[in-house]
């Protein structure tokens, strides 16, 4: 399977605990995105990387959230001191983009998501 | 605020009926436009996309969408739906040179036999 993969698929945790999710993009894709989706809403952008550089973070992303992509391949998203409001589906997407400026015509492909439930 | 609006949250229709889902966005300038679909229990999949050129784009499974720049719209259509088209449909916009996608809230489509 050459699609985007995410691990774990489900995570149940208690309020206050830290959690970490992993995303493996499609192998030739240099861009990797994280989104969050809650029930009845479309995905909301959190952050994205081009190679190992984090190019943008949403203002929605509190300082409890951190994402890394150390070698420009897989990425991790960590949530510290989880709150019940963090319960959501966390989606990862990847794309192949040439350059960092100008009009892009890349297409994002999504993984299956990690469903987080904070008790 | 810049936004993406999908007009209907829920649509119920019978097999063989025609489907049209509305999508409007509020960005000026050049945009890339997408429709994604999420079938029950599956992840988001790309239905079709528009970058430039012919404003009528065809996607998978008989879907098409028309970009009308003057109306800031990108409506999705299918002439005759099947039960297997039951899914949630998301419109997404990628404004010029941005990396991120901005999604609408989605439309849940239920096709009855």
pLDDT tens-digit map of A47-102 = 999 999 999 999 878 899 999 999 889 999 999 999 999 999 999 999 988 766 66
**Closest CB from A48, A50, A102 relative to B100:** A48
Residues of B in contact with A45 (CB under 8 A): 100-102
**Residue B29 Cα distances to A59, A66, B17, B57, angstroms:** 23, 32, 35, 20
Q: Tell me which residue of B93, B76, B73 sits closest to B2, measured CA to CA.
A: B93
Nearest CA in chain A to B5: A42
Q: Tell me which residue of B110, B106, B98 sits closest to A89, measured CA to CA.
A: B106
Residues of A in contact with B43 (CB under 8 A): 91, 110-113
Considering chain A, what is the average pLDDT of its residues? 92
CA distance B103 to B85: 20
| pLDDT of res. B48 | 96
What does each of the 113 residues of chain B score in pLDDT, given as a tens digit? Answer: 668 999 889 999 999 999 999 999 998 888 899 999 999 989 999 999 998 899 999 999 999 999 999 999 999 999 999 999 999 999 999 876 578 899 999 999 999 99
Residue A63 token pair: 């300082």
| pLDDT of res. B8 | 87
Residue A70 token pair: 């150390």
CB of A13 closer than 8 Å to CB of A117: yes
């Amino acid at each position: 399977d050459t699609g985007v993969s995410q691990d774990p698929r489900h995570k149940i945790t208690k309020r206050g605990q830290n959690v970490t999710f992993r995303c493996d993009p499609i192998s030739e894709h240099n861009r990797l995105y994280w989104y969050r989706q809650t029930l009845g809403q479309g995905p909301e952008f959190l952050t994205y990387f081009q190679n190992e550089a984090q190019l943008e973070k949403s203002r929605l992303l509190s300082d409890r959230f951190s994402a890394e992509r150390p070698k420009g391949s897989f990425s991790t998203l960590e949530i510290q001191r989880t709150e019940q409001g963090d319960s959501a589906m966390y989606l990862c997407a990847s794309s192949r983009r040439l350059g960092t400026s100008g009009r892009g015509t890349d297409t994002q492909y999504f993984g299956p998501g990690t469903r987080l439930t904070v008790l | 605020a810049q936004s993406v609006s999908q007009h209907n949250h829920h649509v119920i229709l019978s097999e063989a009926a025609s489907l049209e889902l509305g999508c409007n966005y509020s960005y000026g300038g050049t945009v890339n436009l997408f429709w994604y679909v999420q079938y029950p229990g599956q992840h988001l999949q790309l239905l079709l996309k528009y970058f430039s050129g012919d404003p009528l784009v065809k996607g998978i499974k008989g879907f098409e969408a028309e970009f009308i720049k003057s109306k800031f719209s990108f409506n999705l259509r299918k002439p005759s739906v099947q039960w297997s088209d039951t899914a949630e449909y998301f419109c997404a916009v990628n404004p010029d040179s941005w990396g991120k996608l901005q999604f609408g809230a989605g439309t849940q489509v239920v096709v009855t036999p």
